[in-house]
C-alpha cells in the first residue's frame, strides 16, 4: 500500500512513501509515531543549536548534515517525559564551546560528517556511530551474512550511551535508540548508511526510530526506506503532529 502526501520541504511537491503496513518492523508498535515525534522535535532542536554554533566557527562552513542520537526508555516514551532532553537544552551553552565533530552529554550524542584529506572520502554520521573503527566495508557487494552483532558491540559511541542508560534505568528497562538526521540515511555509493542501520537492527534487535528533515539529491528515497524495514521511520509531516 502506498500513500501520496503533500510534503513541504521535501524538495518535491508530491512525495509518496511506503506506509507502515508495507514494512516489517522490529520496533514495538505500542507507541504511535506521534509519541516518537515529541522526542524527535527536542532532539532536532538540540542538533540545530549545535550545528548553528559549529557553522559559526567553521571556515569553510560545515554542510547541513548532522545527526543526533539518544537512548530513551520505554517509561519515558509512555509518559512523554522529555525532562532529560530539556536538561540538555538548558545546559547546552555550557558545552557548546567544547564541540568538535562529536558532542556527547550522557546518553545523547551529536555527530557531523567527518571529512578526510583531499582524495579521501568522508565518513558519514551513521558510520561514525555504528562503526567508528571502520571495520565494516561499505560496499554493494558486502553480503548480509557478513554483518554480525559483534561488529557493532565494540562501537565506543554505542557502548558509552548504553552504559549511561543502564546507570539511570538498570538492566531491565527497554531502550529505544532515537535518531534524528537532517538527511534521511543515504544510499550513496560507498556509504549505504540506510543499509548499515538496517543491518544493525537485524543482527542486534535494538529498537530504533529514525526521524529526518530532507532527502539528499543523490539518495534513492525508496531504497533508503526499504533498507530500513525493521526501523520505525517518522516522516517530516508526522513530526509536526502533537499529542
CATH of the domain at 87: 3.40.140
User: What are the pLDDT digits (tens) for 199-234?
Assistant: 899 888 999 999 999 999 999 999 999 999 999 999
**How many structural domains compose the chain?**
1
Which domain covers residue 179, as residue numbers?
Answer: 27-239
pLDDT of residue 6: 35
| Grid cell of 46 as nine digits | 538540540
pLDDT of residue 165: 96
Range name among 11-20, 56-65, 220-229 with the lowest pLDDT average: 11-20
User: What are the pLDDT digits (tens) for 131-153?
Assistant: 887 777 665 555 666 677 777 77
Q: Looking at the domain assignment, is residue 22 inside a domain?
A: no
pLDDT of residue 156: 87
Q: Looking at the domain assignment, is residue 3 inside a domain?
A: no
Give the CA distances from residue 188 to residues 15, 25, 144, 219, in Å, rounded to whole numbers and listed in that order.
20, 23, 18, 6
Range 110-138 average pLDDT: 77
Q: Looking at the domain assignment, is residue 194 inside a domain?
A: yes
Residue with C-alpha cell 533498507?
A: 227
- pLDDT band, very low/low/confident/very high, at 197 (cuts 50, 70, 90): very high
Give me the chain's average pLDDT, please. Answer: 80
SS3 235: coil
Q: Looking at the domain assignment, is residue 113 inside a domain?
A: yes
User: What are the pLDDT digits (tens) for 74-93?
Assistant: 999 999 999 999 999 988 87
Closest by alpha carbon to 79, among 170, 163, 171, 173?
A: 173
- Kindly write down the DSSP assignment for every residue of 84-143, as one continuous string: HHHHHHHHHHHHGGG-SSEEEETTEEEEE-B--STTS--B-HHHHHH-TT--S---TT--
Q: Looking at the domain assignment, is residue 15 inside a domain?
A: no
Q: Looking at the domain assignment, is residue 71 inside a domain?
A: yes
Range 7-32 average pLDDT: 46
Q: Looking at the domain assignment, is residue 6 inside a domain?
A: no
Q: Looking at the domain assignment, is residue 10 inside a domain?
A: no
pLDDT of residue 206: 93
Amino acid at each position: 500500500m502506498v500513500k501520496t502526501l503533500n510534503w513541504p520541504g521535501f524538495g518535491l511537491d508530491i512525495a509518496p512513501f511506503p506506509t507502515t503496513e508495507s514494512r516489517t518492523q522490529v520496533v514495538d508498535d505500542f507507541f504511535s509515531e506521534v509519541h516518537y515525534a515529541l522526542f524527535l522535535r527536542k532532539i532536532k532542536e538540540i542538533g540545530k543549536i549545535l550545528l548553528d554554533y559549529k557553522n559559526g566557527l567553521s571556515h569553510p562552513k560545515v554542510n547541513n548534515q548532522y545527526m543526533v542520537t539518544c537512548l530513551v526508555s520505554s517509561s519515558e516514551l509512555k509518559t512523554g517525559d522529555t525532562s532529560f532532553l530539556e536538561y540538555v537544552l538548558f545546559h547546552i551553552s555550557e558545552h557548546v564551546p567544547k564541540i568538535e565533530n562529536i558532542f556527547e552529554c550522557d546518553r545523547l550524542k551529536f555527530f557531523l560528517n567527518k571529512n578526510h584529506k583531499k582524495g579521501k572520502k568522508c565518513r558519514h554520521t551513521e558510520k561514525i556511530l555504528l562503526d567508528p573503527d571502520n571495520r565494516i566495508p561499505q560496499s554493494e557487494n558486502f553480503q548480509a551474512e557478513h554483518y554480525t552483532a559483534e561488529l557493532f558491540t565494540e562501537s565506543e559511541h554505542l557502548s558509552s550511551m548504553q552504559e549511561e542508560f543502564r546507570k539511570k534505568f538498570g538492566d531491565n528497562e527497554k531502550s529505544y535508540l532515537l535518531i534524528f538526521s537532517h538527511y534521511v540515511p543515504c544510499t550513496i555509493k560507498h556509504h549505504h548508511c540506510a543499509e548499515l542501520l538496517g543491518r544493525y537492527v537485524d543482527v542486534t534487535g535494538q529498537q530504533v526510530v529514525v526521524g529526518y528533515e530532507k532527502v539528499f539529491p543523490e539518495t534513492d528515497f525508496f531504497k533508503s526506506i526499504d533498507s530500513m524495514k525493521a526501523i520505525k521511520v517518522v516522516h517530516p509531516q508526522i513530526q509536526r503532529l502533537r499529542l
